[in-house]
Amino acid sequence: MKTTAVIAIHGGAGTILRTAMSTEAETQYHAALSGILHAGERVLADGGSALDAVTEAVRLLEDCPLFNAGHGAVFTAAGTHELDASVMDGATLEAGAVCCVTRVKNPVLAARRVLEHSEHVMFTAAGAEAFAAAQGLEFVDPSYFHTDARYRQWLKARGTEGTMLDHDAATFAATRLPGEHDPIDPSKKFGTVGAVALDMHGHVAAATSTGGITNKQAGRVGDAPLIGAGCYANDATCAVSTTGTGEMFMRMLAAYDVSAQMEYRGATLEAAAHDVVMTRLPRIDGRGGLIAVDAKGNVTLPFNTEGMYRGFARVGETPVTAIYR
């Protein structure tokens, strides 16, 4: 029986400010999500692997300034950009990751090269960039990652304690500048992007990428590049990509926990993902969500915040996108 291939993506989760959302901005976000889903769907429709589909989807998310990855990444406390990414192939359990890169245009492509051309799983900082350069990947000046919207967010975050995640949402909203219409309040936004897919051969894969959190301490690494925390894939169970308070997802091994519950206690994809996001993470104040797909083509996109940029597309069907609960 032929498998109906499917891809799902996310672009971050957080606190929704519906009043801050213009019709034009909402249309922009839905169009971006839909276009990226179409691209991933085309890879699958042409017989491409789940790994190819998630890599392409996340590459496009990195290129889109609406999302916190690649071009559009947030600023660190030092006013720089440090990017992280990971990929995992459910067919082989091979994985690759990079973290704290500053000049690699598409970190997800570097992570993919680690998976394919290295005996290691993760490279960091200068080592990651040296590996990416040896692989012939495209490098950019750090200014490429700058966007005015992220820069304004960073300016507001400076002088507050910690990161933008701790900044008061009401205060931020009150100081919103003309033209700022992010539907998810950036002070309560967990900006990671990711994709999961099932291909027509029955294999699953996952990829995750991020610029981190606004005003983060230089050198901080969250869950996105960590296999088992922000990204996991296993043909026997599922593929998962997460977005949220990274430290909590790391402590819970959130992505792997979904797979483990399916494997060890026979939970369905929906039940396992719901338990991780709605029960286990909140016990340690973990906020955010995840996307997941299993080998049967089931898809789930749970989140415990007010919203999450998300969508999925089955080959031959119209993509479905959403922002709010």
Residues contributing to the annotated binding site: 220-223, 243-246
Biggest distance spanned by C-alpha atoms of the chain = 59
Contact status, residue 112 vs residue 118, Cβ threshold 8 Å: no
Distance of CA 317 to the CA centre of its chain: 23
Nearest alpha carbon to residue 121 among 92, 91, 89, 98? 98
102 is catalytic: no
Catalytic member of 15, 192, 237, 321:
192
Quote the DSSP letter at residue 143. G
Detail the residues annotated as belonging to a binding site for substrate.
Answer: 220-223, 243-246
List residues bridging with 192 in a β-sheet. Answer: 210
Question: Cα dihedral angle (184, 148, 311, 6), rounded to 10 degrees?
Answer: -150
Sorted by sequence, the CB contacts under 8 Å of residue 285 that are 6+ apart come out as 245, 248
Where in 166-287 does DSSP place strands (E)?
Answer: 184-190, 192-198, 204-210, 231-233, 238-244
Neighbours of 323 (CB within 10 A): 20
Contact status, residue 234 vs residue 89, Cβ threshold 8 Å: no
SS3 284: helix
Q: Which residues are catalytic?
A: 192
